[in-house]
Amino acid sequence: MAPQIPTGTGRLGERIGLGDVFVSWRVDELIPGRLRDRARPPEIGRVVDVSISGAAIVAPTSPQLRRGRPVCIRLDDADAVVRIRRIEEIGDDDWRLYGVEFVETDLAFRDWVNGLLDARRPDSQTLGWDRAE
């Protein structure tokens, strides 16, 4: 039986549920102010949903991850630094649901999030948002 993923994450803005969107999770472990002797290989996480301010990501359990910890993620060639705000059990000891907020995103990552949100919004030209009057 598949683990049950909690809903109602308390995130700002509209949450958009996603299908199979996978990210590299804990990319290079390059966190400002922390040094590692060698880079660790990234893990794979699945983005469950996303909003303008953050995401819910199912990823491998790690005792090193805790609330407040920054994590680097990558979607294709787009990078972001997120901060863990919530960690929830999902019925499988090897996996957790990490509620994260976006701290720093590159332009490609922001475009991806905004593209998802724009696809759900009414046509902005119909609403007249593109005109300054």
Residue from 101, 95, 23 nearest 69 by CA: 101
Q: Domain limits of the chain? A: 16-127
Helix/strand number for the chain, H first, E second: 2, 6
pLDDT band at 13 (very low <50, low <70, confident <90, very high): low
pLDDT band at 128 (very low <50, low <70, confident <90, very high): very low
**Per residue in 63-119, pLDDT tens?**
989 999 999 999 998 999 999 999 999 999 999 999 999 999 999 999 988 888 777
* Structural fold of domain 16-127: Thrombin, subunit H (2.40.10)
Question: What pTM, to 2 d.p., does this model score?
Answer: 0.75
Mean of pLDDT values over 123-132: 49
